[in-house]
């Protein structure tokens, strides 16, 4: 059921070209928000844009790890659709390797995309949110920000950083009308996960089904998370009634992390 509880709110979603970002876009647009979809692939963004309910949405191209590019893209979005009221920091990347084979370039890439990219987005929207006395910042972290996983030390370190940033900023802004929270999905059925499954197949010789089953086994419910389940959590944090939810890291993972 669609409603208009976010009517008049401008939401910007990074990494909006598919997977969790697309599901979040559909959920927020379905509740009346006007959206800016940000990413690096204009064709993917345009495909999502065409599926959104409502009107007045737009897209922006930027590498989330590039501070100046993000600043310019966010400024253009605000000029087109008004100040950004809701920021969903969804863009991310995951690469796996034992730490001994995690070279400085891979380490830096994981930090730049997952952690610095989150900072860049927040830094761009914060002045306007503080001026208007209202804002919702939701950082899509991961269960990897709440626990450890072997062979993804750089990714875990970056996502733990996102959780720390979320908690610190939530306290800093607690009296400002702005809430800051993190949503932490477990293994979610997205194109990014399919890449991970293909990597497991290539390295181990297991079938795709066996690789998927091994990942789903980490969830006590024995399944992969659906992108829509993550989107529903994000939506709730942005809707009226969630004002007291601040500084939280909410696992959407079937009980994997408690």
Domain housing 132: 10-186+228-248
> Does the residue 254 lie in any domain?
no
**Per-residue pLDDT reduced to its tens digit, 22-39:** 999 999 999 999 999 999
178 backbone dihedrals φ, ψ, rounded to 5° = -110, 130
The one catalytic residue among 67, 149, 151, 155: 155
Question: For residues 173 and 168, what is the distance between their CA atoms, to the nearest angstrom?
Answer: 9
Same domain, 86 and 131: yes
Task: Provide the CATH number for the domain around residue 21.
Answer: 3.40.50.720
Question: Is the CB of residue 110 less than 8 Å from the CB of residue 159?
Answer: no
pLDDT at 2 (0 to 100): 55
Q: Catalytic: 155?
A: yes
Residues 211 and 178 reside in one and the same domain: no
Residues 110 and 215 in one domain: no
So what's the pLDDT on residue 210? 85
How much is the pLDDT for 14? 98
Q: DSSP letter at 46? A: H
Q: In what order do the strands lie in the sheet with 249-252?
A: 58-61, 34-39, 10-14, 86-89, 135-140, 178-185, 249-252
Q: Which residues of the chain have pLDDT under 70?
A: 1-2
In DSSP terms, which residues pair with 182 in a beta bridge? 139, 249
Report how many domains make up the chain: 2
């Amino acid at each position: 059921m669609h409603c208009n509880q976010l009517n008049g709110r401008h939401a910007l979603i990074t990494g909006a070209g598919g997977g969790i970002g697309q599901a979040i876009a559909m959920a927020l647009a379905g509740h009346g928000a006007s959206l800016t979809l940000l990413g690096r692939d204009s064709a993917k963004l345009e495909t999502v844009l065409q599926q959104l309910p409502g009107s007045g949405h737009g897209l922006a191209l930027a590498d989330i790890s590039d501070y100046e590019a993000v600043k310019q893209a966010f400024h253009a979005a605000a000029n087109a659709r008004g100040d950004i009221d809701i920021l969903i920091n969804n863009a991310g990347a995951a690469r796996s390797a034992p730490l001994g084979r995690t070279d400085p370039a891979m380490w830096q890439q994981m930090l730049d995309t997952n952690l610095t990219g989150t900072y860049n987005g927040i830094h761009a929207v914060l002045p306007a949110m503080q001026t208007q006395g209202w804002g919702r910042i939701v950082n899509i972290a991961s269960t990897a920000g709440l626990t450890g996983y072997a062979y993804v030390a750089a990714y875990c370190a970056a996502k733990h950083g996102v959780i720390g940033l979320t908690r610190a900023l939530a306290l800093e802004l607690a009296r400002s009308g702005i809430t800051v929270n993190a949503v932490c999905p477990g293994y979610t059925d997205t194109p990014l996960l399919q890449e991970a499954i293909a990597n497991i197949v290539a390295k181990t010789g297991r079938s795709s089904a066996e690789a998927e089953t091994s990942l789903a086994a980490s969830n006590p419910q024995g399944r992969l998370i659906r992108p829509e389940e993550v989107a529903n959590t994000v939506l709730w944090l942005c809707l009226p009634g969630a004002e007291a939810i601040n500084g939280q890291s909410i696992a959407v993972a079937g009980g994997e992390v408690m």
